[in-house]
Amino acid sequence: MPFATLKVPEGTLTPESKKKLIDAVTDAYADVYGERARASTLVLVEEVAEGGWGLGGTVLTAEALGRS
């Protein structure tokens, strides 16, 4: 079963954009593994809370991401 975990900043995706992202990842797996994989492809979108991740030792915040 193909499995993808996507971590995104909390509050940056609408329900519609999450659906679009899930569909795009599922399509990509089906393109590689064939249509038989579509029904068993699992895509998990995890929203990471403010300050819950970092890059190069710097904690990423809404301000650092240009969202404030």
Domain boundaries, the chain: 3-59
Fold annotation for 3-59: Macrophage Migration Inhibitory Factor (3.30.429)
Q: Binning pLDDT at 50, 70 and 90, where does residue 68 land? A: low
C-alpha dihedral (52, 56, 60, 63), degrees to nearest 10: 170
Question: Is 9 noted as a catalytic residue in this protein?
Answer: no
Give the C-alpha distances (Å, rounded to integers) separating 34 from 26, 39, 61, 66.
Answer: 11, 11, 39, 39
Q: Read off the pLDDT of residues 13-58 as tens digits, 9 standing for 90 and up.
A: 999 999 999 999 999 999 999 999 999 999 999 999 988 988 899 8
Q: Sort 45 into a burial class: Cβ within 10 Å, 0-12 / 13-18 / 19+.
A: middle
**β 58-59/54-55 pair status:** antiparallel
Query: Which residue in 1, 2, 44, 45 is the catalytic one?
Result: 2
Which residues, other chains included, contact 34 with Cβ-Cβ below 8 Å and sequence gap of 6+?
Answer: none
